[in-house]
Amino acid sequence: MKIGLVFGTRPEVIKMAPIYLKAKEMEINVVSIATAQHREMMDMMLKVFSMTPDYDMNIMTENQSLNSVAAKVLVKMGEIIEKEKLDWVFVQGDTTTAMAGAISAFHNGVKVGHVEAGLRSGNLKDPFPEEMNRRVIDQVSDLLFAPTTNSKKNLLKEGFEKDRIIITGNTVVDALYYVQEKFDLDKIRKEHIKEDNYILVTLHRRENWGEKMRKILEGIKEFSKEYGLSIVFPVHLNPKVRKIVKEVLGEYERAILLEPVDYITFLSLLKGARIVASDSGGIQEEAPSFGKFVVVCRNTTERPELIESGYGILAGTEKSSVFKALVKGFDVKVDKTKNPFGDGKASERILNAVI
């Protein structure tokens, strides 16, 4: 049996690397396939897990469109499948890389395994294009690796056969365990910032570009002023994000604006934070393991487990709603021993399912 693992972004590497490492440990024939949809940030992550892709499509171009990414992956993935004679293709989550990789495998008669299947926001255009991507991937997948019971319920409601769905937990927790065993996060954080009293911020989603992001940042800034917290913000490379961040926080004395950091450094910042404000999906899954409350700066979330567990709040994108959510979440205590997204054994369950 030969499995192809497809990834092209930082979050995909984080969640696929544990499967790759476990497959090697179990002596399963695995082929790693990088699209480089996000070149620099993907490369950062590969170094963390000491991974060198067997194939690197290197598709990223300046101002690339979703259509160009999809087209390149469809064609190049087909060529790799034909050459390697893959039995399975695993894709993760909801990127254009994952969607195009899954469709290419489907076109070539190769079985598809969807890691992190069944997540739903309920709105096809929010988040965009992720909600559409994950629904399409689920349709063409032979096995649906649902991270939680809620994810399985979503799939059953949509009519997916029960025997196609396996609850595995989320591989991001596997990655966290790997990192915490290998690195001294407290020491690493102090090498980058000395500040102990801060809110960690990440914002990058396409649907928040423009006025929404401006309002979110203004709400965070107001909270910072009233509660005396600094803002630590590794700023995404996208120029549309950086422009707004500079306009709102560029002259603010309590804002510590960083260039994008590697995963280990990011986790060290997460571990040291008082509270988190983010529109990221991954951070919603990571923060509970560090006992951090997350203010989700979005109008929808496909990870209701965070809200249901009391470890986060859906804040919307208005200045006042973000500020109020930060105030409400500031003193909430999170039990870091009870991450609702997994126990660190997801990769093993996924691989056992296809052996």
Token pair 């929404």 is found at 212
Q: How far apart (Å, rounded) are the C-alpha atoms in residues 200 and 9?
A: 21
Q: How far apart (Å, rounded) are the C-alpha atoms in residues 53 and 55?
A: 5
Choosing from 164, 192, 204, 214, the catalytic residue is 204
The token duo for 313 is 């709040």
116 an active-site residue? Answer: yes
Choosing from 94, 286, 302, 348, the catalytic residue is 94
82 an active-site residue? Answer: no
Token pair 């995404």 is found at 236
207 an active-site residue? Answer: no
130 an active-site residue? Answer: yes
Choosing from 12, 116, 138, 285, the catalytic residue is 116
The bridge status of strand 88-92 relative to strand 165-167 is unpaired
The token duo for 70 is 């999809």
Choosing from 12, 130, 138, 286, the catalytic residue is 130
Choosing from 39, 189, 236, 303, the catalytic residue is 236
Active site residues: 94, 116, 130, 204, 206, 236
